[in-house]
Amino acid sequence: MSHMQHSVEFDHVCIEYESWRYERMRRVTQRIRALDDITLSINPGEIVGVKGPNGSGKSSLLRAVCGVHTPVSGAVLVFGKPPNLFDPEFKRRITYSSSRRTSLLPDLPLIDSFILRRELFAMPRAHWEGRMHSLVDRLSLGALMNRPPREFSQGQRARAELAIALLHGPSLILLDETTEALDSEYMPRFLALLDELSADGATVCMISHRPDDLECAHRIVTIDGGRVVGDERVRGEATGT
């Protein structure tokens, strides 16, 4: 397997969770296989849509790319390296956004979430300002910057989450159902933005249950029972390779 040509490589990857409970003072452990022998590669600049039923392993796939889950067998490589080592430089190259886990500070004005992100990713101020203004403009967040996210609608919150996720200019964008709250006005604008990022070389991996959200994808990967049951090219090769 060549390690440098792909952004993401899964080589016969199995991921298991350990679930346990106490029964009569005894610990009862159960192992749940979330990903089962996944082999998959994603090229730089490619937009890959991931779909599948609930509990099929889609989110586990993305979290394995982040390095949160470590395979019990097989290997995951991201930019040619195992993602499960603590490496700040690697972490600056990826982003993960989820509909269930927020990166926003719910009670502070939205601008503070952008400031926190700047500090976490050690962004130079000028670069941060440029990126923030561009994303705020593209995702129409200007009127929300001085309001706390707890007052946002679901769609507004999703736009804010996406802006925060893209703020540091990641090369690998992992979106776990974050786009599902976007309406018909904002979704095409966001897909156009993803297309631009892809053309600039960013790799995108997005999970969604809505077929329209995956319109910009070059490939659609279908996961079921922790296995890849479909991998279909739906658009031409990524131009950002």
Partner 1 sequence: MNGFGARPQGLDKATGIRLLHIAAILAKERTTPVWDFVMRTLGSTVLLIAQFAFLRGLDPSGDALRYLALARTAFACSGGQLLERFLIDGYMNGSLMMDVITPIYPLAFIMARSFAGMLASAAATLPGVLVAALLFGGMPRVSLQGAALYAASLIFVWLASTGIALISSAIGAALKQGEAAVQLRVFVTQLASGALIPVYLYPDWVQRVIRVLPFVHLADTSVAIALGASVSSMYPQIIWSAALLGIGIALWRRRLARLDVYGG
Residues that bind partner 1 (CB under 8 A): 17-18, 21-22, 54, 58-59, 63, 66-70, 84-89, 91-92, 94, 96, 98-103, 105, 107-108, 112, 115-116, 119-122, 148, 176-177, 207
The least distance separating partner 1 from the CB of residue 28, rounded to whole angstroms, comes to 13
Give the pairing of strands 219-224 and 47-51. parallel
Closest to partner 1 by CB, 117 vs 218, is 117
Closest to partner 1 by CB, 98 vs 198, is 98
Closest to partner 1 by CB, 108 vs 195, is 108
Closest to partner 1 by CB, 24 vs 185, is 24
The least distance separating partner 1 from the CB of residue 186, rounded to whole angstroms, comes to 21
The alpha carbon of residue 147 and the mean position of all alpha carbons in its chain are separated, in whole angstroms, by: 25
Task: Name the E strands within 122-241.
Answer: 172-176, 203-207, 219-224, 227-233
The least distance separating partner 1 from the CB of residue 52, rounded to whole angstroms, comes to 11
- What distance in Å separates the CA atoms of residue 207 and residue 197, rounded to the nearest whole number? 17
The least distance separating partner 1 from the CB of residue 162, rounded to whole angstroms, comes to 14
- What distance in Å separates the CA atoms of residue 117 and residue 113, rounded to the nearest whole number? 6
Report which of 67, 72, 82 is spatially closest to residue 37, judged by C-alpha positions.
Answer: 72
- What distance in Å separates the CA atoms of residue 67 and residue 110, rounded to the nearest whole number? 28
